[in-house]
Amino acid sequence: MKFKKDFQLDSELPKDINPDTLKVGSLLGLKKNEDSTISIYTQANEKLGSFPEDFLSSRSIDEIKISLRSFKKNSETKTLTSVLLRLEEEIKTAVENINAKAQVDAASAELDEEDGLLLQKSQLNRLRGDPSLVNILKDERLQRLLIEIDSSDNREQFLDSVLKSNNAFQKFADKVLVTIDPDRFSHLQTMP
């Protein structure tokens, strides 16, 4: 969905910009400043003005287009007296955000399948049938930790750090691996 907003620049317009170099409809440049403002530049890279960053609803100036709608100039001094700008933002609706997340999740699932990280049904049945694992999974701290790992932006990195720092979780992970594939992981020490 496109959001369009026209706004006027009429205070503190630079006196050194030649209005004859401006072209109605031309795209203007934007630059984020340290003081939480965004500067607007002409195609000749001359600063035209600025506005507060919170004026924008999107998070990135890369998602914004700003163009020159019209301008007025003083006929005697040949300086700008007023500038009308059009700001266009591409704003995603809730449905678009959900669809984008679904695409990312689908791509992630494909990647997991390609890496062989998805368990086969027989492996899941072995996990489900192991009474000690079923009992361990009732622990609320473990449940919270598993949710935290699963919801992490970088699951693999977070899992690695938990495995290195949490001895009890390391033993749990070893038990899961031995249960899934006893021949391959028989060398791991597991919890009783």
Please indicate, yes or no, whether residues 7 and 85 belong to a single structural domain of this protein: yes
97 lies in some domain: no
146 lies in some domain: yes
Q: Reduced to 3 states, what is the DSSP secondary structure of residue 180? A: helix
Residue 6 has pLDDT above 50, yes or no: yes
Q: What is the pLDDT of residues 31-80, one digit of tens each?
A: 888 887 888 888 888 888 887 776 665 556 777 788 999 989 888 888 88
Please indicate, yes or no, whether residues 8 and 73 belong to a single structural domain of this protein: yes
Measure the CA angle with vertex 33, ends 29 and 36; round to 5°: 120
Please indicate, yes or no, whether residues 135 and 78 belong to a single structural domain of this protein: no
122 lies in some domain: no
180 lies in some domain: yes
Question: What pLDDT is stored for residue 165 in this prediction?
Answer: 92
Question: What pLDDT is stored for residue 99 in this prediction?
Answer: 61
9 lies in some domain: yes
Mean pLDDT for the stretch of residues 165-170: 88
- What is the 3-class SS of 51-80, one letter each residue? EEHHHCCCCCHHHEEEEEEEEEECCCCCCE
Please indicate, yes or no, whether residues 84 and 134 belong to a single structural domain of this protein: no
Q: What is the pLDDT of residues 90-143, one digit of tens each?
A: 665 555 556 666 666 665 555 544 455 677 888 888 888 888 888 888 888 888
95 lies in some domain: no
Please indicate, yes or no, whether residues 85 and 135 belong to a single structural domain of this protein: no
80 lies in some domain: yes
Contact 18, 97 (CB under 8 A): no
Please indicate, yes or no, whether residues 62 and 134 belong to a single structural domain of this protein: no
Question: What pLDDT is stored for residue 91 in this prediction?
Answer: 60
Q: Give the structural domain span for 82.
A: 2-90
82: β partners: 72
Question: What pLDDT is stored for residue 114 in this prediction?
Answer: 46
Structurally, the chain folds into a number of domains equal to 2
Question: What pLDDT is stored for residue 69 in this prediction?
Answer: 92
104 lies in some domain: no
The rounded distance, in Å, linking the Cα atoms of 139 and 128 is 16
